[in-house]
C-alpha cells in the first residue's frame, strides 16, 4: 500500500474512527506510534516473516516506508 492509497481510505473515514493493527498472538492493538524507516523487498521468505527487511537509507534498493509501531 502506498501513502496515496492510504490517504484515499482515511479521507472516507469519520475522524474519530479507531485505527488498529494485529496483536502479537491474535486480536488487535492500537498503534503506539509511527516512524519513517527504510526497507528492501519484497523478499521470498518463510510465511511467518515479513516480506520487507530493515536497511540503511543509502542501500541500493532502499525504499522509504511508514512503520506503524505496535
Residue 57: per-residue pLDDT: 96
The answer, as to whether pTM is greater than 0.85, is no
Nine-digit cell string for 7: 490517504
Q: What is the pLDDT of residue 52?
A: 95
- In the chain, where the domains are located: 15-69
Query: What is the pLDDT at residue 24?
Result: 86
Average pLDDT of the segment spanning 52-65: 96
- Residue 67 in contact with residue 30, Cβ under 8 Å? no
- Kindly state the average pLDDT of the residues 34-47: 94
* H/E segment holding residue 9: helix 3-11
Confidence of residue 22 (pLDDT cuts 50, 70, 90): confident
Pairwise CA distance, residues 20 & 31, whole Å = 6
Mean confidence (pLDDT) of the chain? 93
In angstroms, the CA 13 to CA 28 distance is 19
Amino acid at each position: 500500500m502506498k501513502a496515496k492509497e492510504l490517504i484515499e481510505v482515511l479521507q472516507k473515514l469519520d475522524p474519530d474512527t479507531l485505527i488498529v493493527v494485529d496483536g502479537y498472538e491474535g486480536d488487535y492493538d492500537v498503534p503506539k506510534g509511527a516512524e519513517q524507516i527504510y526497507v528492501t523487498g519484497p523478499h521470498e521468505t518463510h510465511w511467518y516473516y515479513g516480506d520487507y527487511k530493515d536497511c540503511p537509507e543509502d542501500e541500493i534498493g532502499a525504499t522509504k516506508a511508514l512503520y506503524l509501531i505496535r
